[in-house]
Structures are given as structure tokens and as C-alpha cells.
Amino acid sequence: MSQTYSITELAKEFGVTTRTIRHYEEQGLLNPKREGMNRIFNHRDRVRLKLALRGKRLGFSLNDIRELFELYDLAKDENKQLEEFLARLEKRRVLLEQQREDIEVMLNEISFFANQCRRLLASGNGKKTEKVA
């Protein structure tokens, strides 16, 4: 008999809540068996949870992850799945690099304005406002 896992065991192992695991099940990423009210996860579910969490860390949506799982389930050879995953990784890389460039521009603007404020304060050129009582 292959090893099985409870929802609590998986939650503890991967540092997520049981609610997260139930949500992934609702989204079709996991398919545990039921014994009464208990969910019984097998090795395949454990691996899929691990991959889903890894995909989330990479910025993929649950829909993207589900599509990759479906591609894997339907593919007769692994090359198609790997090519699709590679294409999605590259697309994600481009997006993240653009975001990094945007952040650099914003940080430079913040530094510029902060330095400008410091110079004005140091030179005494900042206008003082009178408080109205």
C-alpha cells in the first residue's frame, strides 16, 4: 500500500494552512480520497501540492498551474510539457525584469526628490509656514 497523508500532515510539512490545501482541491489541483469527513492524500497529491506551491512562489496563478498539470496528465511525452513550462518561465522572467527596471526608476526618482528636499532644508530655502491658531 502506498503512503497516504492527512491534510494536517501536508499542511505542517509545507507550512501552509489546511484552508489553502482545501482551496487547491477546490481549484482541481488536488484530488484526495474521502473516508467519511477525512481527506486522504496520496503521493501524487503531495507532489502536486509541492509543485503548486513552487509555482505560486514563481508567480504563476492557480489557473496557470492547473493548465500545466492538465498538460502533464494528457501529454504522451514530457517534451511538450517542458516546452510549455519553459515558455511560461521565460514570459514570467520578462515580466519580472520589466518590474525590476520600473522599481529602479522609481527608487532613483525617490532619491532625487529626497536629496532635493535635504538640500532645500540645509540651505534654509524651504519656506516656513505660519501656524494659524
The reply to whether 55 and 90 lie within a common domain is no
Strands of the chain, DSSP E: 33-35, 38-40
Residues 90 and 119 both lie in one domain: yes
Query: Same domain, yes or no, for 88 and 50?
Result: no
Average pLDDT on 48-67 reads 93
Does residue 130 form part of some domain?
Answer: no
- The Cα–Cα gap between 17 and 7 comes to 9
Closest C-alpha among 49, 45, 39, 47 to residue 7 = 39
Same domain, 44 and 81: no
Residue range 4-19, pLDDT digits in tens: 999 999 999 999 999 9
Statement to judge: residues 55 and 80 lie in one domain: no
pLDDT for the residue 49: 96
User: Which residue's C-alpha cell is 514570459?
Assistant: 91
CB 52 within 8 A of CB 24: yes
CA 105 to chain centroid = 24
Q: Identify whether the C-beta of residue 68 lies closer than 8 Å to the C-beta of residue 81.
A: yes
Q: What is the pLDDT of residue 78?
A: 77
The predicted-structure confidence for 75-115, as pLDDT tens digits, reads as follows 677 787 788 889 989 999 999 999 999 999 999 999 999 99
- Judge whether residue 133 has pLDDT over 60: no
Name the residue range of residue 107's domain: 75-125
Tell me if the pTM is above 0.75: no
| Mean pLDDT (the chain, rounded) | 90
**5 within domain boundaries:** yes
Which CATH number fits the domain that encloses residue 13?
1.10.1660.10
In a domain, residue 22? The reply is yes
pLDDT in tens, 17-27: 999 999 999 99
Number of domains, the chain: 2
